[in-house]
Amino acid sequence: MKNKKQAIRNLRTSLKQRHLSMMSIGGVIGAGYFLGVGQAVIMAGPAVILSYLFGGIVTMLVMILLAEMSVAMPLAGSFHLYAEISFGKLVGFITGWTYWLAFLIGPASETIAAGTFLHLWFPSISVGYFCLIVATLLSLINIIGAKFFGEVEFWLSLIKVIALLIFIGSGIYTLGFHLNPNISFKNYTIHGGFLPYGYSGVLSAMMIVFFSYGGTESIATAAEECVNPRKIIPRALIGTVLRIFLLFILSIIVLLAVLPWNNDSIHASPYVVAFGILNGNVAANIMNFVVLTAALSCIDTGIFATSRMLLSLAQQNYFPKIFSYINPKTQTPIVAILLSCIMLYVGVILSFLTPNAFTILGSLSGFGFLFTWLIIALSQPRFRKYILQTQPQSLTFKVKLTPYIQYLTVALMLAILCGQFFVTNGWITITSGIIWILIASIYYLIRVKHFMIRKD
């Protein structure tokens, strides 16, 4: 494993703590959240708060386990390499490829969202042209280099954070001083109760919720390009926890008090409508701009993370070597980036085939993230044992209350996955995910076993 690490340390170490923290935020707060929360509300009603709270707890637990492994061995391949060390090459490959697909699905849907937001301002120009512009722009940003990417992501993410804080603040101010009789916590119960669809509704929204949280783990894929990963990663974890509970939970609490969950606008762009109710049409247009930057930011992070994962897989001969090429000038995996950018157009194609493209893509992506997180949690005990045997001095950040934290994390995720068989259309998502895992396994057996591509 030491040789593998030396072989892939060709990436420039230029990402600092503020880049990493904001990249983690950028990977989560995209249009997938701003629009996805509306789809989740339709499924669960006001009780969607429980869905996001529960999802946030699971995300935080997984992040803690991942932080320990990333600090001990900061690699671009990150958790797929940890899975390989813990369970073997097959599990490592399936984890890496599933994560790659899950994260690609997200930006594909974000591209549709970005094109749609721009189309609202410029209706004479088709969404497709905007999608082309967005894909090209984000490709160039990632090709230029990691430091430039970090700076762009820092500012894009900062815009989202400030906007959500303003939304939360203005909502609390309006609620506290009763400035609008239609804005009230009564909206939680007067339209069918807090649990209009019961706890099954809370469970049915979980895949969209995990799609919203997906991207938190992207800080681990950037660990190798950090200036000081052993110091920065744990600190970035603190920022992630604050994001989960402050930005997500509080903003949803305010949203549902401002905009009743059964309002027709909830499925379109709920935060834009709610911000307009609080502060007028000008504010609504400002929020539409913020949502647009959120989509761009999330695509930016998605291309970064998936290209690094593809780079790592190609360096291990799972994919053709061309994807492991690193441009000597920019020190970026340019071919892997280009392939990731091409996949952005999958969402555009699906949008012409079904009006539910966003929900379908979001649910499948949510499954991919949840599966990856499950493997991360399962890997942590074996990976710690490996580190203690080979390089114990690297274990500078340790998860407390082990193994109980790991047991709890695994149990919660298995309960969510099993519960999907008991909610409407949940079995479709799980079945699709299982089929994907079988395809990945067959590919591995054919390429790696039959043709003996792996040399080690």
Taking 70 as the threshold, does the pLDDT of residue 27 lie above it?
no
> Which has the closest alpha carbon to 370: 29, 39, 33, 59?
59
The answer to whether residue 7 is domain-embedded is: no
Tell me what the mean pLDDT of segment 405-425 comes to.
Answer: 90
> Which has the closest alpha carbon to 59: 243, 247, 256?
243
Whole-number Å distance between alpha carbons of 125 and 204:
36
The answer to whether residue 84 is domain-embedded is: yes
Task: State whether the Cα torsion 224-228-234-239 is positive or negative.
Answer: negative
Domain residue limits at 269: 21-450
pLDDT at position 286 is: 87
Tell me what the mean pLDDT of segment 85-99 comes to.
Answer: 89
The answer to whether residue 12 is domain-embedded is: no
Task: State whether the Cα torsion 86-92-98-99 is positive or negative.
Answer: positive
Tell me what the mean pLDDT of segment 253-274 comes to.
Answer: 86
> Which has the closest alpha carbon to 185: 172, 202, 196, 170?
172
Taking 60 as the threshold, does the pLDDT of residue 13 lie above it?
no
Residues sharing a CB contact under 8 Å with residue 13, sequence separation 6 or more, in sequence order = 224, 225, 226, 227
pLDDT at position 32 is: 66
pLDDT interval class at 220 (50, 70, 90):
low
Q: Which of 26-30, 71-75, 414-418, 442-446 has the highest mean pLDDT?
A: 414-418
Residue pointed to by tokens 């920065």? 232
> Which has the closest alpha carbon to 173: 257, 245, 94, 110?
257
pLDDT interval class at 5 (50, 70, 90):
very low
Task: State whether the Cα torsion 203-209-215-216 is positive or negative.
Answer: negative
pLDDT interval class at 255 (50, 70, 90):
very high
Higher pLDDT: 327 or 253? It is: 253
The answer to whether residue 312 is domain-embedded is: yes
Residue pointed to by tokens 């395809």? 439
b/e map 414-447, b = 16+ CB within 10 Å: eebbebbeebeebeebbeebeebbeebeeebeeb
pLDDT at position 242 is: 66
Domain CATH code at residue 425: 1.20.1740.10
> What is the Cα gyration radius of the chain?
21
Structure tokens at 266: 């909830």
The answer to whether residue 198 is domain-embedded is: yes
pLDDT at position 160 is: 78
Taking 60 as the threshold, does the pLDDT of residue 456 lie above it?
no
Read off the pLDDT of residues 138-153 as tens digits, 9 standing for 90 and up.
777 766 655 555 566 6
pLDDT at position 20 is: 56
Total-model pTM:
0.82
Taking 70 as the threshold, does the pLDDT of residue 103 lie above it?
yes
Read off the pLDDT of residues 284-309 as tens digits, 9 standing for 90 and up.
888 888 888 777 777 777 777 778 77
Q: How many structural domains is the chain composed of?
A: 1
SS3 278: helix
pLDDT at position 9 is: 43
pLDDT at position 355 is: 64
The answer to whether residue 1 is domain-embedded is: no
- Given a contact cutoff of 8 angstroms between Cβ atoms, the answer to whether 37 and 212 are in contact is yes
- Given a contact cutoff of 8 angstroms between Cβ atoms, the answer to whether 322 and 335 are in contact is yes
Read off the pLDDT of residues 314-349 as tens digits, 9 standing for 90 and up.
887 888 889 888 878 767 788 888 888 777 777 677
- Given a contact cutoff of 8 angstroms between Cβ atoms, the answer to whether 241 and 98 are in contact is no
pLDDT at position 290 is: 83
pLDDT at position 3 is: 44
Whole-number Å distance between alpha carbons of 9 and 2:
11
pLDDT at position 6 is: 41
The answer to whether residue 456 is domain-embedded is: no
SS3 173: helix
* First-to-final CA distance of the chain: 11
Taking 80 as the threshold, does the pLDDT of residue 178 lie above it?
yes
Mean pLDDT of the chain: 80
The answer to whether residue 8 is domain-embedded is: no
Cα 400 to its chain centre, rounded Å, is 25
pLDDT at position 4 is: 43
